[in-house]
Structure 1
């Protein structure tokens, strides 16, 4: 039995949901634009095993051999015929390649080192989930690069490719939940990414927009490819975030019960490992699954009904459904027919 997720009686949210607000049709696994979302979820499977959290380590160089390497026979250099040289086409490792696969360095102690979840956090997350009768506006901490956008070419640092549905997804989140943006990119890059995704009015509605300068990194780590950690306690202690809680005046606060980090990196959520909705890194390729964000949308709607997000995520972490499809609206069907 389905019911409307977000009603005016439950959240008193006045908004225009546009074509992105939806319902889920259980019989066909289709996401139908133009209707209110139901409580039925897709895109995840129940699991009692906690999500693994890897500890980044340093790759040690191989030990040197006891015997000196043998000298290679001399090979004269090849003389190239410059006139017959054919111009090379675009390189295979196009701008849309996935970011460097070599592991980032471990942050120094000066930058805070590697965090671990507290015993209190883990104890609470391992309690049984409890579903609320009415949904509530949860806090979403949104990543940018690799999650909503991809920068295909470092030589064009302000050119980004959007993940399918990125703008509609962000618009929905801003209308429905509390949203903070936190990226490990440098502040000028963060600003450009936000400008591409959001209107000025939407940007003002974000509770905060943070970049690399908010991780507490020392200068050497700031300039290096170092692993960063999104300690949600930093977000929860920010004055604007604290003031945005609907019960702030009576002691209400943001914590592991009502906050979710949307990111492509599980390691970044090491300090709160059951408050992350991890999605595959977006690298701008046409072969990637197109309907990732609609499934994230459905999962977030379900989290709005949970009394403690960390308990629910521990038991039922987000999983993509490769068979998930979107039904076309009549307007889109006409446009497709015209194009043909």
Structure 2
């Protein structure tokens, strides 16, 4: 498959060997008019400056000595000038048309092939998938109260995204190859040993498992309350297989039995539960947190080491530690959303 550069028309003129032209010139004085059956062969080769097409016109008639001499002179003249500039004639116009058609066909093929890799635009989920969520009135009322600080930090629930947040997949053709964000492994080790962590990605389950395996040890994986993928987004069958916008409704996490059992008060028979006061969603997408916008700790999308100019995760680490001191996380994030400090130093 040629690349787009291979099929871009170059600056080199077309080289044409036209045997019958020289023959007609040699016999012009005798007024000889011959009909020729010509066989054209088109070859196209890619060069640094683009493709160079060569058309050889052959005659099936027996040639006279004068014709052969004229052809020899024409060939010598052609070798002296490797690329002869040809004026616009019926023959050169036909050559240009064929060359353009060939190039257009290759461009179409490249567009088609590339189209298989280019992702479609994200569409809105259907009503069967819950449509587009909005925060409830009670959620907003509580989030708009003044934040207050506790006398000591507590264990909070962290819902952690994967791709774009902790990992980057440089090539979609190598679906299982991921690059971890700087400090990602030590960052996750700290969270798992200090807080309650649920992993939730909009990727398909097998991709989620591949990402987790590339980031966490088996022991760390066991400490995750849940590891969820696309199957927990509440999507219809049609939306699950389509490229639709996914929403991480935190009520789904709060209502899960495994997550509920991890609440600090649950072990003592208490009635404590996870909610907007003690949960933070770490993600690179604000839209995914549409139902609980003030529980989002949004960080820049990780696009690889070349694009990482700041210590992102160490600053996220410090911010999460502050959230552990807050009586209501949604109130604190609303007034003090996470912001990167360009002057931050480890």
Please list the CA deviations of residues 85-116 of structure 1 after superposition, one character each: whole Å capped at 9, or x if unmatched: 689xxxxxxxxxxx979751100001110001
Q: 1:84 aligns with which of 31, 47, 53?
A: 47
The SS at the match of 1:320 is: coil
Counterparts of residues 152-191 of structure 1 (less than 5 Å): 152-191=170-209
In 2, distance between residues paired with 1:246 and 1:225?
A: 38
Which residue, 260, 279, 290 being the options, matches 1:259? 279
Kept after mapping to 2: 8 A contact 1:164/1:290: no
Partner of 1:306: 326
1:235-250 to structure 2, matched below 5 A, reads 235-248=253-266, 249-250=269-270
What secondary structure sits across from 1:213 in the alignment?
helix
In 1, Cα distance between equivalents of 2:270 and 2:258: 16
Distance 1:285 1:105 in 2: 30
1:161-181 per-position Cα deviation (integer Å, ceiling 9, x unaligned): 111110010001001110000
Give how far 1:81 is off: 4.1
**Structure 2: gaps spanning 5 or more residues:** 1-13, 15-41, 51-116
| 2:338 aligns with one of 302, 318, 324 | 318
The corresponding residue for 2:220 is 202
> 2:310·2:342 contact (CA, 8 Å) conserved in 1?
no
Instruction: Establish whether residue 294 from structure 1 lines up as the match of residue 257 from structure 2.
Output: no
Deviation at 1:290, TM superposition (A): 3.9
Q: Is 1:221 equivalent to 2:239 in the alignment?
A: yes
| Structure 2 residue matching 1:250: 3-state secondary structure | coil
Deviation (angstroms), 1:154: 1.0
Distance 1:125 1:178 in 2: 22
| Structure 2 residue corresponding to 1:129, chosen from 134, 147, 156 | 147
Q: Is the 2:181–2:305 Cα contact (8 Å) retained in structure 1?
A: no
- CA-CA distance at 1:220 after TM superposition: 1.6
Say whether the 8 Å CA contact 1:106–1:113 is kept in structure 2: yes
Aligned counterpart, 1:145: 163
Structure having the higher helix fraction is 2
1:115 match: 133
Give the 3 Å change call, closer, same or farther, for CA 183–86 of structure 1 in structure 2. Answer: farther
Structure 1 length-normalised TM: 0.67
Looking at both structures, which has the greater relative contact order when contacts are Cα pairs under 8 Å and sequence separation is at least 6? 1
1:233 corresponds to 2:251 = yes
Deviation of residue 250 (structure 1)?
Answer: 1.4
**2:209 partner SS:** helix
SS across alignment from 2:294: coil
Q: Could you say which structure has the larger radius of gyration?
A: 2
Unaligned runs of 5+ in 1: 1-77, 88-98, 327-340
Cα deviation for residue 216 of structure 1 reads 1.2
- Pairs aligned (count): 238
Instruction: Measure the CA separation in 1 of the matches of 2:43 and 2:190.
Output: 59
Query: What's the CA shift for 1:285?
Result: 4.1
Instruction: Tell me: CA distance 1:280–1:103, structure 2 relative to 1, closer, same or farther (3 Å).
Output: farther
- Are the equivalent residues in 1 in contact too, given 2:187–2:317 (CA < 8 A)? yes
Q: How far did residue 247 of structure 1 move?
A: 0.8
Quote the residue 1:279 is aligned against: 299
